[in-house]
Amino acid sequence: MSGNLANVPPMTENERRAISAYIENEFGIRMPAIKKTLLEGRLAKRVAACGLPDYGAYFDFVTKDLAGQDEYLHFMDLVSTHETSFFREQRHFDFLSRNVLPALCGDEGRRSISVLCAACSTGEEAYTLGMLIDSSLRERRRNDMSFFVEGLDLSNKAVNIAERGVYLSERIKKIPDELQKRYVMTSKDRTKDLCRFVPELRRNMRFHTGNLLGDLALLQHFYDIVFCRNVLIYFDRSNQHRVIATLLNRMHPDSFLFLGHSETMLSFDFPLRSVAHSVYIKK
């Protein structure tokens, strides 16, 4: 499918409302009327590239048509470019690699590592965790130890993308070369410009929908590491307390909680000890 950008008509207000409401409901990203020009500009080339007559038809294609599954990756990338990425907020992953994983992987009595990635979106953060854990186990030749990364998100569409483990090649560039070589496969169809994580990594990943404010229906009884980053900022104080209390009930003693860099537990009375910026250990 292909088309001429000049033939794409202006976005109508009804189209903006429908697309904006979907983005806010699915991804938690506000797209008020003032951002109409921004939204229109980001999506215009994809409307033309798909040979569709207008933004409404494009929106239906990516959200309702199975044939639009790959195009949904482009849609997600355009409307949430700065919301999720591989190795986002690098300092946390540095701390994980230098301080947390050596201790967990070096524990001779330990046979597994369980990780929860809350509000995992399309899975970039979860796969980052999976690559680092698998690499740490390989370095220490811990063939006797398994690991499990569970991703949880409200959006069915986002969870489906995470389960597939397929991403645009442009997104993969943020992954270090040595990890790309080990864990990423490029598509045989060069026209699609897609990459996928290897089965050996994907089999350690589990993704499902769930609400942090409701019944989490988590797969594991307890977790050694919990990432819940840039989630609390969307909640009021009461719901922030509720989310953290729920997560703590599912964490082992001495397990690690990672929050977003702008989030803190200083105003709450939880059994947590700060060990780095927005990183805590459960007492």
Tell me which of 42, 59, 79 is where a domain ends: 79
Q: By residue range, what is the domain housing residue 45?
A: 5-79
- Cβ atoms of 270 and 249 within 8 Å: the answer is no
The stretch 113-118 carries a mean pLDDT of 96
Nearest Cα residue to 126 out of 137, 115, 140: 115
Q: How far apart are CA 177 and CA 182, in angstroms?
A: 9
32 alpha-carbon distance from chain centroid: 23
- Examine residue 201 and state whether it is found in any structural domain, yes or no: yes
**Average confidence score pLDDT of the chain:** 90
Please state the pTM of the whole predicted model.
0.77
pLDDT of residue 215: 61
pLDDT of res. 80: 63
- In a shared domain, residues 118 and 254: yes
Tally the domains of the chain.
Answer: 2
Per-residue pLDDT reduced to its tens digit, 75-103: 877 876 546 889 999 999 999 999 999 99
Domain boundary among 56, 79, 102: 79
Q: What is the tens place of the pLDDT at every residue in 134-182?
A: 999 999 999 999 999 999 987 777 888 899 999 989 889 999 999 999 9
Which tokens go with 119? 């509000």
* Whole-number pLDDT of residue 151: 95
Q: 151, 162 in Cβ contact below 8 A?
A: yes
